């Protein structure tokens, strides 16, 4: 059942949730979210996005496999997400959101084992019952990445109309080979991102994080 949230509220209230309740999400609701999200724009209507929905035993098996690989530091990077050297202002933004999150977790910024443990929670979908994996054919050029990003954003916004929240998780792409093997994703398809989907745990301190956004005066240029 959808709620009465407005489009503006759905966008402005979206955030990455990092602890979910175990409440199940029905397949008809997941399908409805994906179907509505498919209205995303795509160049010449190619609709390049593909989605793997992971629940139940498959979810648990994938989580265990990637956690084993992560513990053994057996990475298999699907693609570089950030440049090798991140410059300003991007570096400061990244550091601030990280430090703000550690503070809510109660983790000292120098406590590397605790920071690693927090990061590893990605691979249990932060407790969410549903994982989504977004892929497309590997030979698609840059424009298709834009299309898939718009589709993913639609998923995150549409989920809120169903009383659900999400966390996009590019961290899974550090172990792309494991995800490919566990889900039977062909080698000629690239893994773009994972995403946790479920009901927010309102008692979790980490879910109070609201990351800062630059003002329009910082990223907008007016040509009059």
Whole-number pLDDT of residue 109: 87
Instruction: Calculate the average pLDDT of the chain.
Output: 96
- Does pLDDT of 91 surpass 70? yes
Residue 4 banded pLDDT, cuts 50, 70, 90 = confident
The long-range contacts involving 79-87, CB below 8 angstroms and separated by at least 24 positions, are 79/173, 79/190, 81/170, 81/173
- Does pLDDT of 69 surpass 70? yes
What's the rounded Cα separation, in Å, for the pair 101 and 19?
A: 12
- Does pLDDT of 47 surpass 90? yes
> What is the C-alpha radius of gyration for the chain, rounded to an integer number of angstroms?
18
Q: What proportion of the chain, given as a percentage, has pLDDT over 70?
A: 99
Task: Note the pLDDT tens digit of each residue in 152-175.
Answer: 999 999 999 999 999 999 999 999
Instruction: Work out whether strand 50-54 and strand 20-21 pair parallel, antiparallel, or are unpaired.
Output: unpaired
Delineate the domains of the chain, giving CATH numbers in brackets.
83-127 (no CATH), 133-200 (3.40.109.10)
Asked if 43 and 143 count as a contact pair (C-beta separation under 8 A), the reply is yes
- Does pLDDT of 3 surpass 80? no
Residue 21 banded pLDDT, cuts 50, 70, 90 = very high
Question: Using alpha carbons only, what angle is made at residue 209 by residues 204 and 214, rounded to the nearest 5 degrees?
Answer: 170
Whole-number pLDDT of residue 57: 98
Residue 2 banded pLDDT, cuts 50, 70, 90 = low
pTM given for the model: 0.96
């Amino acid at each position: 059942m959808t709620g009465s949230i407005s489009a503006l509220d759905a966008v402005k209230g979206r955030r990455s949730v990092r602890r979910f309740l175990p409440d199940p999400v029905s397949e008809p609701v997941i399908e409805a979210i994906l179907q509505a999200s498919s209205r995303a724009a795509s160049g010449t209507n190619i609709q390049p996005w593909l989605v793997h929905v992971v629940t139940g035993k498959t979810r648990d098996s994938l989580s265990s496999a990637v956690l084993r690989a992560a513990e053994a530091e057996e990475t298999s990077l699907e693609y570089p997400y950030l440049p090798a050297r991140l410059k300003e202002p991007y570096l400061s933004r990244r550091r601030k959101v990280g430090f703000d999150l550690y503070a809510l977790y109660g983790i000292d910024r120098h406590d590397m084992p605790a920071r690693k443990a927090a990061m590893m929670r990605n691979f249990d979908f932060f407790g969410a019952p549903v994982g989504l994996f977004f892929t497309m054919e590997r030979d698609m050029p840059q424009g298709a990445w834009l299309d898939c990003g718009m589709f993913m954003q639609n998923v995150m916004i549409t989920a809120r109309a169903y009383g659900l929240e999400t966390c996009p998780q590019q961290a899974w792409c550090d172990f792309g080979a494991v995800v490919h093997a566990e889900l039977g994703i062909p080698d000629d398809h690239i893994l773009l991102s994972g995403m946790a989907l479920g009901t927010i745990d309102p008692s979790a301190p980490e879910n109070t994080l609201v990351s800062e956004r630059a003002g329009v005066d910082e990223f907008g240029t007016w040509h009059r």
